[in-house]
Amino acid sequence: MDASSLNSAELQRLISQEKERAMMNEMVAKLTSACWDKCITGTPGSKFSSSESSCLSNCAQRYMDMSIIIMKRFQSMQI
């Protein structure tokens, strides 16, 4: 896609999509780092133990829940 052929609305849409993609990548990286540090205490083997798996799942769910709460809070402050 040639940038010169894009109109302003299309360009803004593409920029917005790229910003969202970058934010999601950053969130996944933070989630991975935080949950890994919290849940994986030893050297990982070929599979996670049941306690590690449960911890990772719970940690990721809490992280996502808090991210949604924070996002909604920021949105309400902008209105």
What's the pLDDT at 2? 56
pLDDT at 74: 85
Q: Nearest Cα to 60, choosing from 26, 79, 36, 25?
A: 36
Indicate whether 65 pLDDT > 90: yes
- The rounded distance, in Å, linking the Cα atoms of 54 and 15 is 37
Number of domain units in the chain: 1
Name the residue with tokens 């849940």.
39
Residue 58 lies in a domain: yes
Could you tell me the pTM of the whole model? 0.65
Helix residue ranges per DSSP H, 1-79:
8-39, 50-78
Q: What's the pLDDT score for residue 3?
A: 56
Is residue 44 a part of any domain in this protein? no
pLDDT value at position 21?
A: 92
Cβ count near 48 (within 10 Å): 15
**Residue-range definition of the domain harbouring residue 69:** 3-38+49-77
Q: What mean pLDDT do residues 56-60 have?
A: 95
Query: The domain that contains 32 carries what CATH number?
Result: 1.10.287
Please name the residue that has the structure tokens 């949604």: 68
Q: Is residue 43 part of a domain?
A: no
With respect to residue 18, please indicate whether it lies within any of the assigned structural domains: yes
pLDDT of residue 43: 85
